[in-house]
């Protein structure tokens, strides 16, 4: 497998409610309180410094990714992500 193929393995394309597709780099999946969250980085902005955290819900065997509105929930997921990935990324608080 080439390096280019490996890079594509972690690319996720999500479609919003308006039908617009956006590419993200999948960084991690975090489990917390019997829920799964995905941590993504937008690929359209090389200078992106903020990750996107979405909650995964399964409905009729279809995965849906929902924006997390609760700031405490977001912070807890982000803290788990930071702890698990402290060797891979330089985090700025």
DSSP secondary structure, 50-85, as one string: --EEEEEEEETTEEEEEE---HHHHHHHHHHHHHHT
More confident residue, 9 or 72: 72
Sign of CA dihedral 69, 73, 77, 83: positive
pTM of the model: 0.79
Average pLDDT over residues 14-37: 92
Residue pLDDT, tens place only, 38-51: 999 988 877 677 88
- The per-residue pLDDT for 74 is 96
């Amino acid at each position: 497998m080439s390096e280019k193929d490996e890079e594509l393995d972690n690319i996720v394309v999500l479609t919003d409610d308006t039908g617009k597709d956006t590419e993200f780099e999948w960084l991690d999946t975090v489990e917390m309180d019997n829920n799964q969250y995905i941590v993504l980085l937008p690929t359209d902005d090389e200078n992106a410094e903020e990750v996107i955290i979405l909650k995964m819900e399964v409905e009729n065997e279809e995965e849906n990714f929902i924006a997390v509105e609760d700031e405490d929930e977001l912070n807890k997921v982000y803290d788990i992500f930071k702890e698990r990935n402290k060797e891979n990324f330089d985090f700025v608080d």
